[in-house]
Amino acid sequence: MRRGTVLAALAATAAVLTGCTAPGGPARSAPSPASSSAGPAATDRSPAGLATSTAPSPPPPGTLLVTDFGADTVTFVDPARRAGSAVLGSVRVGTAPYGIAAGPDGTAWVATAEGVAVVDTAARTRTALIPYRTRTGPVTTGEYRGGGMGLALSPDGSRLYAGVNVPGRNGVLEVVDTARRSVVATVPVGRRPFDVDVSRDGRQVYVTGHDSFDVTVVDPARRSTRRIEVAPYGTEGGLGSWLKPHHTAVRPSDGALLLPFEGERLAVVDPDTGRVRVERMTADTHQHGVTVAADGTLYVVGTGPVDPAEDTGPSLTIRRPSGAERVIPLDGPHEDVALSADGRTAYVSGGFTRDGHWDGLSVVGTRTGTVTRLAAGHRPLGIAVLPGHPGATAPPSPASAPPSPAGPRPSR
């Protein structure tokens, strides 16, 4: 489809395209210090719109936590509260929060432009802000800001891996000791590390380099790396190309890496041999966020057309292990996706890294295909489903559909 039209136009449009193209963005002063041992409690909004500090009860199981890329907060969202506001409150974490990882103990880790924020989700407060070792320049906002992007926890929860963007240069993987709340190692990786994933045994970390057309395979024990180029359309156009990798999922059955491109091609990467095989996809739209269920079903977010004359609009692709796909249209651009614990519902963030974002989530019934929009956050980008806390009450499932064997994303 766009092999001819997009590649031919890249050189002429690279200077003016935004989004997945050449870097830029306004600078602003950091709103908080580079490191902190404590942070503000959640802020709830009264009917009159006045901010009031509270001592909130733990969020119910299945609560969503989204990063507000257009602000300095994360927002708690109860998707069961359809009739009224689904927003439970927000916590300040640091400038332009991007990726998020939630541990089974209720701790959430958030990549911001200033450092990795640590959030106690039961108390709804930031407990630490871990500064990066890597110098990323002035604290800025927008798509090309320096600082943390993709995040992933090791299976045992002892390490957090943060992909750090260094504007104008290759990125860095920073390794955080989660008990000590400090960076203990840095490893060079590709350019603009959109996503970070971990193998199921924890022996390998995979960093998706958006602007370097690659996945860096990191051995965290030896701190060694191997680069695998993943460019099913080639690398023509360089930084101006739209045809780059964005997010990666680790297939549970064999550990293969799954990277969707343009709703046309799925790159299946063997991380041990570096072999890349390409399978056909059907959504025909620019694609970003992915997650994979325990049964191997892949969920892929379509952000919208690169060329409106040829491409299809935003969507969620549900791809079974057999390769069969169901494409569910969405209203407006979206960025990332997470699954409910029972796999019956997919939550898709409306933030989007480019212009056209909206302040909310789409709630998709994975069996029924029904879509409900919830207002939440400010340019919500990363999204995580929180585990339950002692004493919390589970909400009813927001999607009326029969049970599914699908489970939550195993490695993000």
Distance of CA 12 to the CA centre of its chain: 30
Distance CA 269, CA 258 (A): 7
Residue 156 has pLDDT above 80, yes or no: yes
Q: Can you give the pLDDT at residue 87? A: 95
DSSP assignment letter at 124:
T
DSSP 3-state of 367:
coil
Question: Percent of the chain, pLDDT > 90?
Answer: 75
Asked if the model's pLDDT at residue 294 lies above 50, the reply is yes
5-14, 250-259, 346-355, 383-392: the lowest-pLDDT one: 5-14
Q: Return mean pLDDT, the chain.
A: 86
For the chain, what's the residue count? 412
Q: Whole-angstrom Cα distance, residue 178 to residue 52? A: 31
What Rg do the C-alpha atoms of the chain give, in angstroms?
20
Fold of the CATH domain 2-21+50-385: Methylamine Dehydrogenase; Chain H (2.130.10)
Report pLDDT for 2. Answer: 52
* Look-up of token digits 């927001």: 398
Over range 320-327, report the average pLDDT.
98
The residue ranking higher by pLDDT, 222 or 41, is: 222
pLDDT given for residue 83 in this prediction: 62
Most confident option among 30-44, 300-314, 396-410: 300-314
**Amino acid at the residue 239:** L
Among 56-60, 105-109, 130-134, the least confident range: 56-60
Determine the pLDDT at residue 352.
86
Overall average pLDDT of the 191-200 stretch: 98
DSSP code of 114? S
In one letter, which amino acid is 376?
Answer: A
What does the DSSP 8-state code read for residue 371? E
- 3-state SS, residue 211: helix
Nearest to 341 by CA among 271, 412, 408, 273: 408
Q: Is 373 helix (H, G, I), strand (E, B) or coil?
A: strand
Residue 240 three-state SS: helix
pLDDT at 128 over 70: yes
The pLDDT score that the predictor gives to residue 191 is 98
The stretch 67-91 carries a mean pLDDT of 92
Min mean pLDDT across 52-66, 184-198, 283-297, 386-400 is at: 386-400
> What's the DSSP call for residue 239?
G
Instruction: Rounding to the nearest 10 degrees, give the CA dihedral for residues 135, 195, 20, 227.
Output: 80
- Rounded to whole angstroms, the Cα distance separating 359 from 378 reads 5
Residue 279 and residue 321: Cα distance in Å, rounded?
Answer: 12
Torsion of CA 59, 61, 64, 65, to 10 degrees: 50
Q: What is the pLDDT at residue 402?
A: 34
Mean pLDDT of the region 58-83: 93
Which of 23-37, 151-165, 222-236, 311-325 is the least confident region? 23-37
**Segment 327-344, tens digit of pLDDT:** 999 999 999 999 999 999
Q: Are strands 182-188 and 193-198 parallel, antiparallel or unpaired?
A: unpaired
Query: Please, what sign has the CA dihedral across residues 300, 306, 308, 310?
Result: negative
* pLDDT at residue 396 greater than cutoff 50: no
Q: Which of 35-39, 99-103, 226-230, 269-273 is least confident? A: 35-39
- Predicted pLDDT of residue 21: 55
> What secondary structure does DSSP assign to 157-203, as a single string?
SSEEEEEEE-TTS--EEEEEETTTTEEEEEEE--SSEEEEEE-TTSS
DSSP string, 273-341: T--EEEEE----SEEEEEEE-TT--EEEEEEE-SSTTT----EEEEE-TTS-EEEEE-SS----EEE-T
User: Mind giving me the DSSP string for 49-110?
Assistant: --EEE--PPPPPTT-EEEEETTTTEEEEE-TT--SS--EEEEEE-SSS---EEE-TTSEEEE
Least confident of 285-294, 330-339, 382-391: 382-391
Over 60: is that where the pLDDT of 15 sits? no
